Structure 1
Amino acid sequence: MKLLHLDSSVLGPHSVSRQVSAAIVDRLRQSTPGLEVSYRDLTLTPLAHLTGSHLAAGQGAAPEASLREDIAAGQAMLEEFLAADIVVIGAPMYNFTIPSQLKAWIDRILVKGRTFKYSAQGVEGLAGNKRVIVAISRGGYYGSGTPAALGEHLETYLRWVFGFMGIRNPEFIFADGIQVGPEHREKAVAGALKAAGELAAA
């Protein structure tokens, strides 16, 4: 069984989402003998954001020389995603949504004919045979029913993206309110780590 672990926080060792995503992976390693884990830090080797030249290359045009390495990296990330049975993502909220590095990765895996297709019945996801677990960290409180819920475009976006690819029940572990104050941060991290430690085996 293969697990793909992705981090997207720019904060390095100070990142809560990285801490929680690592705890998730540790839990699954312990509960799943022989689990094969690959790790990718999307901030150390970021993909370029899509351009018209990227899209042209995707339609069969010869890629510009300056883009060949980036296109190859994006293709490798798509194949890596498709090969994974479990995907664990560290996703902090930046300005109410996902980090741009994570968006660049999503743009390379959301590919017609590989992870979804259109049919007479509508969109059909092609990557539904995966378990996706997301560690979310947010500076404030954005859960359902909170005053700021309308500003939440991280969890809602990722639920839609993975659902579009056929992954209907992604799992989320939250560390909310980490910028409200030290006590709030400590409580949020402890709660998220506890939830990670209680995850069902792979």
Structure 2
Amino acid sequence: MHVLHVEGSPRKQRSASLDVARSFISSWQTRYPSGTIDTLDVWNMALPPFDGAALDAKYAGLAGQARTVEQETVWNEIRALAERFHRADLILFSAPMWNFGIPYRLKHLIDAVSQKDLLFTFDERGLLGLLGGRTVVIVAARGVALGEDFPEKDFDFQTAYLRMWSRMVGVTDVRTVTVEKTLFGPEADEASRSKAKAEAAALAGVV
């Protein structure tokens, strides 16, 4: 068994999403002692910019044209990122909510790696994801709780986006653990983290 952990928070030791994700990983490793973890930290890696040669490489592939050396070089970087998703049995996202969505570095990764014939394809049947059979676990951290004036169905562009992406690439088994009210003082933060960590540990025992 192999997990790809996509770290979406730059806060590291202070991060609620990472704190809860570590509980999931610890429990998962107890269940799968020979399992492996690949950590993809979007804040501490060089993500290929998706313009210029990368964009030209994309459209050359779509048109069935040969890529230039420059285009092939950047496309190989993108392909290597995609292979990390293919190697995983389970993809774990730990992501804070930023402006009701996900951090821009996480969006950058998704925009770069989500390409035809890498994570999905399409033909006369429609859009066909290439990561079927896997599980996605989303650990979502929020400084406040959605609801009342900010109903989740209208304001959640965090887990909703990652669920949409999962479906696009063929994953139908998507689980979510949410930690909220992390900005409501130490007691509320700790209570929410403790509850979410227990949920994450329990989830690791069944996925």
Alpha-carbon contact 2:79-2:118 (below 8 Å) kept = no
Letter in 2 for 1:119: D
Shifted more, 86-95 versus 49-58: the winner is: 49-58
Query: What is the CA distance between 1:19 and its match in structure 2?
Result: 1.0
Shifted more, 41-50 versus 130-139: the winner is: 41-50
Query: What is the CA distance between 1:48 and its match in structure 2?
Result: 3.8
Query: What is the CA distance between 1:18 and its match in structure 2?
Result: 1.0
User: How has the CA–CA distance of structure 1 residues 118 and 73 changed in structure 2, closer, same or farther, with 3 Å as cutoff?
Assistant: closer
Alpha-carbon contact 1:128-1:165 (below 8 Å) kept = yes
Equivalent position to 1:94, from 98, 109, 113: 98
What does 1:47-66 align with in structure 2 at a 5 Å threshold? 47-58=47-58, 59=60, 60-62=66-68, 64=70
| Cα distance between partner residues in 2 of 1:55 and 1:80 | 21
Residue 17 (structure 1) aligns with: 17
What does 1:71-86 align with in structure 2 at a 5 Å threshold? 71-86=75-90
User: How has the CA–CA distance of structure 1 residues 146 and 123 changed in structure 2, closer, same or farther, with 3 Å as cutoff?
Assistant: farther
User: How has the CA–CA distance of structure 1 residues 19 and 97 changed in structure 2, closer, same or farther, with 3 Å as cutoff?
Assistant: same
What does 1:1-202 align with in structure 2 at a 5 Å threshold? 1-58=1-58, 59=60, 60-62=66-68, 64=70, 68=73, 71-142=75-146, 146-148=148-150, 149=152, 150-199=154-203, 200-202=205-207
Which consecutive aligned stretches of 4+ in structure 1 deviate over 3 angstroms post-superposition? 70-73
| Cα distance between partner residues in 1 of 2:92 and 2:46 | 18
User: How has the CA–CA distance of structure 1 residues 96 and 161 changed in structure 2, closer, same or farther, with 3 Å as cutoff?
Assistant: same
Alpha-carbon contact 2:2-2:36 (below 8 Å) kept = yes
Query: What is the CA distance between 1:189 and its match in structure 2?
Result: 0.5
Give the count of matched residue pairs: 198
| Structure 1 stretches lacking a partner, 5+ long | none
Alpha-carbon contact 2:179-2:192 (below 8 Å) kept = yes
Letter in 2 for 1:136: A
Secondary structure, in 3 states, of the residue corresponding to 2:95? Answer: strand
Letter in 2 for 1:62: T
Alpha-carbon contact 1:131-1:167 (below 8 Å) kept = yes
Q: Percent identity?
A: 26
Letter in 1 for 2:19: Q
Query: What is the CA distance between 1:201 and its match in structure 2?
Result: 3.7
User: How has the CA–CA distance of structure 1 residues 112 and 175 changed in structure 2, closer, same or farther, with 3 Å as cutoff?
Assistant: same
| Cα distance between partner residues in 2 of 1:63 and 1:86 | 34
| Cα distance between partner residues in 1 of 2:49 and 2:155 | 24
Secondary structure, in 3 states, of the residue corresponding to 1:18? Answer: helix
| Cα distance between partner residues in 1 of 2:34 and 2:202 | 20
Cα RMSD between the aligned structures? 2.0
